[in-house]
Structure 1
């Protein structure tokens, strides 16, 4: 199949075609300077990813091209474990084809609002849309919302249709799994708040990469999206081809060839063994090759390589632990880099890690160097960052991870990164002799201090400081709010949530006064006193009697919410809602994480329930389309669809009846139906209501398992299974 020509725009924002050269970013509008600042420049990735030696992936690129050539619009999601080369693939596409791009691994690029602005700025420049969307060379109010990017994308598609009809418009977005959670009310069901597939204009495609595990509940229609797994036989074959090229190809790596000769290792054996040991994980391969070229590992010693990337990291750390300075310099430095979300210079790292420059420089430039990305700032100072996200993951183990023979290393690394967050927090807080001066903090402190403080247990302290609340990035603070644990801290955060929507264009003095008012209402008295002083008002509120309560607003439904339920699903406490927009949403009770959006009903969702059925936690919904749907709570599997009602399903319930787990539904057809959760058996149909059934429940009453229903006939029916027969039912009418 011939590769399609991708369209970005008439010579506007494009990546350079020579993968050995830098990316060039050109803005067509001469007054575009402020929008230019919004675009994340991917040029630093060229050297880090070694794009000059990009090899293979023809099979994967061909599948992307096939999707673009045969579909009307949609998403291609390239998925794989850490280290298999997803970012290198995305960068290769950007370097060799014109497309709008975003890489979350760049500094500051994980924030959904900034990612969407970067994509929009590229589209505006490419298609000459500045006059329509950014008059005065500035983003308008509301540009941080997901729907604004969609408006820009639609306008770009319309301009494309005028100039280059039918040519696909491509966006390449790398690292969806590393994206921050969206702000409340800005979730689209896709990380970064990207547009849903069904909302994309025709001939617009988004090629995204992600590790496995990040929910993307909005991508459910197989016509509009496709997943390509990177790992597998094709990936391993690409690795073998790459190794063959550098070891015995027409232009081999001469230094590698020399080391193979000196070690008496055949090139064929070397390529096969190394590919097998690295198992398709490209970052592992690069680590080993660099160690061989640096003389740190013999080509004849490949059989001793640990099984897997994590084990390789742990082997390195075990070696560092035996060296002088690890506990006082090496570990604090590495933990600090794992905690930071941006590169840092030597002097700054010294302050964060409490280390003097010379021993710190030795660790960074010698022992830790293979695992760090080193760049230079405008003053040519060396900037250090963790080279690959897989190393950062080592400091944040999950409960399900199992690492053999780690000798307590994972616990030690976790403790060290908490200490690093504490040091960074202490350094970023702008302490003065009179308290804290928050007016001069930089953008990184505004956006990242909430996360650092939450990780080390200091967020409660900060949310009682009105200066911090006025200065901190709102989305970042709300995302970390679940880390607040004290009553006073929760009251302070509650006051912030209740007044932040009323700030609008108020100055800091007026905002501080609003904080004072709401802090009194929520009884956050320490915050109230400090906010009153900060406001400069000659009057204060001594006490407030308020009958309202603090609350968290969960927004996202595009219409009326018809039903809600609370329970446990996917091993955690959740809130579930169903609405007239046809979606079921699974919410984090704190409102900090994006909801999982379940789609499939052809019409409004009238009722939802949470419970256990068929030995697992499930979500059940009933809707206008007459179906009962049994959902996987994470949205990763297709729902079981139960059909039979001759009308709207008005109510559903989950529980035990007749000694087994059941799903019960009631409908406008006047029936109550008792379903097998797996949909394998025909439902039991209970009739007795003289009109629509409006509500059903399952539980125990008078020591027995019962089903209860209520209907438009003003009756409540109590259903009991017959004791010696399964053929009939009996009910009591109230």
Structure 2
């Protein structure tokens, strides 16, 4: 691979020869850095950390953990290669608040990606690459003004970009670590065995440290330094006590409710800590309910144990208070909130929940569901000044998608299962709303679909069980991003649709092809892979006199890209185990030798 040249249909073409950048050529429309950056400025507001003009002025505690993280960063940065520092904790222990504090701390300001912004590996890497470039390259650097190459979604490109920027920093005499922050490593699509979530490099350049938060039970990068938050640990309990005490004395609305029920801040803190059991999101939700008058401060002893029980109890209460709206408004709305993957307006929620009247939807959002939602308002001149809504915490999405199957209380399990059914229905409604309508020729104009559809339609189709149908639509296959299609194809059961998706995979990148060429090559690969339904659908779109393939002499199996090396692969071979099985062996310029099982490709 030494001396080869990589380039897409537009953007920079980079020649590599022993790691030396040969040149940058711009051709056509390139994706710019600003196009892929995800603005995190609203996250402190969503998490309730903003006080006056200070984004994280409401963050308290965790000083002991921040010190440990800084020590771990220094240790990893001193090693011959970079590495990962992970903060591991169960759901609801304040991992996102900690990550937000680190991202907005004036002394850090690390490039950061939050999974609540996007769980797409391609979007995450592009977001980080753009931020790293802005932060760690001089203002007059061509890297800041140039566009991204056509292959910028490739994990290997991100690894190379990271290596190049760090080498430039070292050449300028910068010895401080290059730190990257990721919140919610566990929320990324499950990586292949041995790989890192979000397609991050397994091996990082010297001086590069990734600080990430994650739940337990998920694959960890090899050699990662892990700091764990114990829900019942004294440090966690002390931090939570400090935060509750701070809120009980400084939040005027909360102190007013305490005074109205003759509960002292000290008694409120003791009662809430006993109910929360060290789970921060539980305590935060209860404080907001008390603050808003939805829960009396002298009734904390009636709260159930655990987040699942708490959510179940509140949904039962909402149903009892809104019996006429539960089935027609509240439940469809909950399902839609669980299904959407980014903040949406109340107008959109009303439409996607079944074209409901906006008034009742707004009443529910700003009424009984208010404590469980993150709400950011727009200015009065905006098209929808009511703002944007999303679920406040991933633990509620877990409940609404039916993941509480092992709970000891069967009523909690039943409630979660009913909500999961509503969520599946919501996926189907959303899919119908964001799918372009067919034209007079019964063809869908996929290029007219919204940006939300481009990013998430394949996910909704898979969740709704509709990917089998869409997988036979040539326009859909050529329009939807290939990585998202491959991540969801395990939901496809129809043989013809599976072959159609495999044919699209074999095409690889199509950015450099004109639309008619894309369709022609999809037709050829459909014939090669015996996807007769897709081949016929492609041929039906050809002009009457256009040639088409009736057959192909090809007995190969689909190829795939093996991601793992962070630099060029310089040698490929095989090795036979003592048991007679054969492994593929690759060696790269990253000084790593990898063994691959040819059957699983892991």
- Equivalent position to 1:101, from 80, 91, 111: 111
Moved more, 391-400 or 448-457: 391-400
1:115 to 121, 124, 129: 124
1:519 aligns with 2:517: no
Q: Secondary structure at the match of 2:411?
A: coil
Matched, 1:268 2:271: no
Q: Which residue of 2 aligns with 1:205?
A: 209
- The corresponding residue for 1:560 is 573
Q: CA deviation at 1:537?
A: 6.3
Superposed displacement of residue 464, structure 1 = 0.5
Structure 2 counterparts to residues 326-345 of structure 1, below 5 A: 326-345=326-345
Separation in 1 of the partners of 2:401 and 2:116?
20
Q: Secondary structure at the match of 2:195?
A: coil
Alignment of 1:300-315 (within 5 A): 300-315=298-313
1: distance between equivalents of 2:265 and 2:471?
Answer: 61
Give 1:423's match in structure 2, choosing from 429, 434, 439: 429
Residues 1:538 and 2:545 are matched in the alignment: yes
| Equivalent position of 1:154 in the other structure | 163
> Could you say what secondary structure the match of 2:101 adopts?
helix
Q: Check 1:499–1:103 CA distance in 2 against 1; reply closer, same or farther (3 A cut).
A: closer
After TM superposition, give the deviation of residue 335 of structure 1 in Å.
0.5
Deviations 1:264-307 (A, max 9, x none): 33332321221121122111111100111111111111111110
Counterpart of 1:167 (choices 176, 179, 191) is: 176
Cα distance, 1:576 vs structure 2: 11
SS of the residue 1:75 aligns to: strand
**Does structure 1 residue 439 correspond to structure 2 residue 440?**
no
How much does 1:577 deviate? 5.6
* Change in CA separation of 1:167 and 1:511 when aligned onto 2, cut-off 3 Å: same
| 2:88/2:213 contact within 8 Å kept | yes
Partner of 1:69: 74
Mapped partners of 1:561, 1:317: distance in 2: 58
Query: Which residue does 1:464 correspond to in 2?
Result: 472
Q: In the TM superposition, what is the alpha-carbon distance from 1:162 to its structure 2 partner?
A: 5.1
What pairs up with 1:631-642 in 2 under 5 angstroms? none
2:558 maps to what in 1? 551
1:86 aligns with 2:108: no
Taking structure 1 as the reference length, what is the TM-score of the superposition?
Answer: 0.68
Q: CA deviation at 1:554?
A: 5.9
Report the alpha carbon displacement of residue 256 of structure 1 after superposing the two structures with TM. Answer: 3.0
Displacement of 1:239: 0.5
* Residues 588/267 of structure 1: CA separation in 2 closer, same or farther (3 Å cut): farther
Residue 126 (structure 1) shift: 2.2
| Secondary structure of the corresponding residue to residue 100 of structure 1 | coil
Structure 1 distance, partners of 2:112, 2:599, is 27
1:9 corresponding residue in structure 2: none
Is 1:188–1:194's contact at 8 Å kept on the other side of the alignment?
no
- Contact 1:74 1:206 (8 Å CA) reproduced: yes
Give the match's secondary structure for 2:540.
helix
Q: TM-score, normalised by structure 2?
A: 0.82
- Residues 411 and 565 of structure 1: CA distance in aligned 2, closer, same or farther (over 3 Å): farther
Q: Closer, same or farther in 2 for the Cα pair 1:386/1:254, shift >3 Å? A: closer
- Please name the residue that 2:21 is paired with: none
Whole-angstrom distance in 2 between the partners of 1:118 and 1:580? 30
Q: Is the deviation greater in 295-304 or in 316-325?
A: 316-325
**Aligned equivalents of 2:494, 2:150: Cα separation in 1:** 35
CA displacement at 1:164 relative to structure 2: 5.7
Q: 1:551 is paired with a residue of what secondary structure?
A: coil
* Structure 2 counterpart of 1:616: none
1:562-584 residue CA offsets vs partner (Å, 9 max, x unmatched): 36999xxxxxxxx9966355545
Q: How does 1:196-595 map to 2 (within 5 A)?
A: 196=202, 198-202=203-207, 204-216=208-220, 218-219=221-222, 221=223, 225-229=225-229, 231=231, 232-248=233-249, 252-322=250-320, 323=322, 324-354=324-354, 355-377=356-378, 378-379=382-383, 380-398=385-403, 401-406=406-411, 408-434=414-440, 435=442, 436-501=444-509, 503=510, 505-536=512-543, 538-541=545-548, 543-551=550-558, 553=560, 555-556=562-563, 559-562=572-575, 579=585, 582-583=593-594
Report deviation, 1:74. 2.6
Q: How big is the shift at 1:433?
A: 4.1
After the TM superposition, which of the residue ranges 519-528 and 532-541 deviates more from structure 2? 532-541
SS in 2 for 1:307: coil
- The answer for the alignment partner of 1:600 in structure 2 is none
Contact 2:468 2:493 in 1 (8 A): yes
Within a 5 Å distance, the mapping from 1:132-151 to structure 2 comes to 134=143, 137-151=146-160
Q: How far did residue 170 of structure 1 move? A: 1.6
Conservation of the 8 A alpha-carbon contact between 1:117 and 1:144: yes
Q: Which runs of 5+ in 2 are unaligned?
A: 1-29, 50-56, 566-571, 588-592
Q: Is the contact made by 1:78 and 1:208 (CA closer than 8 Å) also made in structure 2?
A: yes
Q: Are the counterparts in 2 of residues 86 and 230 from structure 1 also a CA contact under 8 Å?
A: no
Query: C-alpha distance in 2, partners of 1:101/1:531?
Result: 44
Structure 2 distance, partners of 1:432, 1:565, is 58
SS in structure 1 at match of 2:213:
strand
Answer yes or no: is the 8 Å Cα contact 1:509–1:534 preserved in 2. Answer: no
Preserved CA contact (<8 Å) 1:509 1:536: no
Q: 1:523 to 1:363 in 2, by over 3 A?
A: same
Q: Report the Cα offset of residue 188 of structure 1.
A: 7.2
Residues 574 and 582 of structure 2 are in contact (CA less than 8 Å); yes or no, is this contact kept in structure 1? no
Per the TM alignment, residue 561 of structure 1 is displaced from its structure 2 partner at its CA by 4.8
Bigger mean CA deviation after superposition, 413-422 or 132-141:
132-141
Q: Relative to structure 1, is the Cα distance of residues 564 and 140 closer, same or farther in structure 2, using a 3 angstrom cutoff?
A: farther
2:16 maps to none
Note if contact 2:404-2:416 (Cα within 8 Å) is conserved in structure 1.
Answer: no
**Partners of 2:598 and 2:240 in 1: CA distance:** 41
The reply to whether residue 193 of structure 1 matches residue 222 of structure 2 is: no
In structure 1, what is the equivalent of residue 36 of structure 2?
Answer: 38
Say whether residues 1:180 and 2:185 are aligned partners: no
What is the deviation of 1:424?
A: 0.9
- 1:79-102 Cα shifts (integer Å, max 9, x gaps): 111111111101111111333332
User: Residues 300-326 of structure 1: CA distance to partner in whole angstroms, max 9, x if unpaired?
Assistant: 111111101111111111122332111
| Equivalent-residue separation in structure 2 for 1:443 and 1:147 (angstroms) | 25
* 1:54 pairs with 2:67: no
Cα distance in 1 for partners of 2:177, 2:530 equals 56
Task: State the 1:381 CA deviation.
Answer: 4.4
Query: Could you say which structure has the larger radius of gyration?
Result: 1
1:673 aligned partner: none
